């Protein structure tokens, strides 16, 4: 079974989102770093072994148009996407192609941590489907330290599920990709339950 690597909690303002998350969970996300050229920066909240919540927001130090348009248009944080861990992205690419999904190839990325250390990773993002960010992307951290290793916190990912009007179709896609995340009928959305110092809390599509 594929393992959830991290959830992406998208927000219009990083500091405000970190404060809201702390008020909700009783745990504070740590500064992650910036994504040069992508117009974003993040903070990390550990959710257990090699799993974390990424608070992703526009980076005001970069050009305003560099950040994805959806981030700046948000009125409040929302659970936006999730990543699945994969050590062999070439095998994942083959599964995507077998499922009839094109992809732009493996995308190398990096960011520098507040302590100056450079972290590198590679991603593979499926395309050609109608599910938007509800279809997961795949990530390989290679030899870089995993963000959850230094994120700390007393939170855990208790459950993750997806809702979509074409639940049966998305469910079939996830099965082909060997991803065991429940998919229910409903408006498009990603929903998570976190075990936190303040009890179990829910975060979702907003």
- Mean pLDDT score, 93-102: 83
CB 121 within 8 A of CB 83: no
Q: What angle do CA 97, 99, 100 make, to 5 degrees?
A: 65
Domains in the chain, CATH or no CATH each: 4-203 (3.10.180.10)
Using one digit for the tens of pLDDT, what is the confidence trace for 33-45? 888 888 889 999 9
What is the band of 150 on the pLDDT scale with cuts at 50, 70, 90?
confident
Using one digit for the tens of pLDDT, what is the confidence trace for 129-149? 889 889 999 999 988 888 988
pTM, 2 dp: 0.92
Q: Where are the alpha helices (DSSP H) in 66-204?
A: 69-73, 89-98, 167-176
CB 187 within 8 A of CB 159: no
């Amino acid at each position: 079974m594929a393992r959830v690597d991290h959830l992406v909690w998208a927000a219009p303002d990083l500091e405000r989102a970190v404060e809201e998350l702390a008020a909700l969970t009783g745990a504070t996300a740590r500064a992650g770093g910036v994504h040069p050229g992508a117009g974003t920066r993040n903070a990390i909240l550990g959710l257990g072994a090699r799993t974390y919540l990424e608070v992703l927001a526009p980076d005001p130090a970069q050009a305003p148009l560099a950040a994805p348009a959806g981030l700046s248009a948000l009125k409040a944080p929302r659970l936006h996407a999730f990543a699945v861990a994969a050590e062999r992205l070439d095998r994942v690419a083959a599964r995507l192609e077998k499922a009839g999904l094109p992809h732009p190839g493996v995308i190398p990325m990096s960011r520098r941590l507040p302590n100056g250390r450079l972290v590198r990773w590679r991603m593979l993002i499926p395309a050609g489907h109608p599910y938007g960010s509800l279809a997961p992307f795949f990530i390989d951290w290679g030899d870089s330290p995993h963000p959850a290793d230094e994120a700390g916190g007393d939170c855990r990912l208790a459950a993750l599920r997806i809702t979509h009007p074409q639940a049966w179709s998305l469910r079939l896609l996830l099965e082909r990709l060997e991803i065991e995340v429940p998919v229910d009928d409903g408006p498009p959305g990603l929903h998570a339950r976190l075990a936190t110092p303040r009890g179990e809390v829910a975060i979702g599509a907003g």
